[in-house]
Amino acid sequence: MNNKLTWKTIIIVLVVGFSLYKLYPNFLWYSLPIEERQEQAKRKNPLVREVIPLGLDLQGGVHLVYQLDLSKLPDVSDETVHRAIDQNMIVINNRIDGLGVANAFVARQGREFIVIQMPGVYGSEEAKSIIGKTALLEFRLVKDDEALVKILDEVSKKGVRPEDVVSGRLPEEIKKLLPAGTQLLPQREGGYLLVTDKAELTGKYLKQARVEMGNSMTVGGLSIGFELDAEGATLFEALTSAHINDRLAIVLDSMIQSAPRIESRIPGGRGQITGSFNAQEAKTLANILNSGNLQAPMSVVEERTVGPELGEDSIRAGAKAMLVGFSLVILFMVIYYKFSGLLADAALLLQIIILFAIMTWIKATMTMPGIAGVILSLAMSVDANVIIMERIREELALGKDVKYAIEEGYDKAFSAIWDGNVTAILAAAFLFQFGTGPVKGFGITLMLGLAISMFTCVFATKIFYDVWVFLRRPKTLSI
């Protein structure tokens, strides 16, 4: 075997070895029952990052369509709406990423809608609470006024709930009792406080928030540590130095989280939100604060939940369809083209292995349309093999030697295969670039499948023939 053929064979072996190496975690992961996979995903098993991610239609999850509340924007010009949508998408992506939801899909739809798909999240209420929370952080001074006793008495008599106070639904009788420049807000731990009606400082200066082991005596003792930027730190220091011995309420979405007394000037812009947070609440709150505020409120106009069982059914149906179709193709190729058909079948198998290995490597999400893209690329690969083998048959019919018939067959078939595949790859590239969701999934698998089929049909099968000719020195070819 000459050096050129040896190196080509080594390339094939290396490609197959690398592909099997990348595919191995998929066998481990997807052989687990779905309940076990969900549990391991929650525990952030590192294997999750080594497998092909599944889309919403295969894994199950939540599909939400949000509409922007245009009435909250300064104007409804296209530029303003466009900017608000972009800002909201950034915030939503940050919030989803912060919670470790893998392969979420967030995209604009029309002028004022945002589509969000979260594979693996099966509770729509959980998803909406993550996405739609406003997370307005404020610092307000507590007003110790004698009027509070009478106000609380009226609150009790009229059965006013904390959520009524947060949403501003206070009875007029109670509003009249409020001292000028104050507002009644509920405390997270229970009870109410009078605070200034305007924030002394807001969360727009927030630089970072993180979960800390606080000094709270409540369950878990978790708190949210925050750090303000340079401007916020200066304002915070000035605020605390001017109000030593006063109480400062840390308010989140009109709910007082804590109201510590200012004992001294606080430089550096660092503070802590304490409360009875469990681990998940603390993590969610820190994530929401870090991701910033939505540019304008949004409301859900469409909501769908795909259960994990339905996703499993889709996988089984897709795998069954692929297996049956692939088996029929292999059978036909062997019966019709005999030994040459067997080599073509090996190329098809190689194409599938390489395709799924590359998808694992680049973390391309597999969807049902993606499976259709795989099947279509296999069909075009079969076409390419048929063209090559028919050309070889023609050359053999002319009485040429097996080796030269194979060489001529590949040379004459190449232009037709190249033209067909490049045209289809360009079409698939446009689908991938400009499509959304499932269309994108179809485009990426078709594009990769066709590119790989050029390698397996034209390069790999030719190596198979060359090795066979070198080893057997055949006088005839079974085709």
Cα distance between the two ends of the chain: 24
**Percent of the chain with pLDDT strictly greater than 70:** 86
- Report field, pTM of the whole predicted structure over 0.75: no
The C-alpha atoms of residue 410 and residue 389 are separated, in whole angstroms, by: 8
Please, which pLDDT band fits residue 305 given cuts at 50, 70 and 90? Answer: confident
pLDDT of residue 452: 92
Distances (CA, A) of 387 to 49, 172, 298, 391: 40, 84, 55, 6
pLDDT of residue 57: 74
pLDDT digits (tens, 9 = 90+) for 16-42: 999 999 999 988 888 888 778 777 776
The owner of tokens 């179809």 is 442
pLDDT digits (tens, 9 = 90+) for 115-173: 888 877 766 676 676 666 655 678 889 988 778 888 888 888 888 887 777 767 788 88
The C-alpha atoms of residue 316 and residue 54 are separated, in whole angstroms, by: 13
pLDDT digits (tens, 9 = 90+) for 215-257: 544 445 677 788 888 888 888 888 888 988 888 888 876 778 7
Distances (CA, A) of 430 to 381, 397, 427, 442, 446: 21, 42, 5, 11, 11
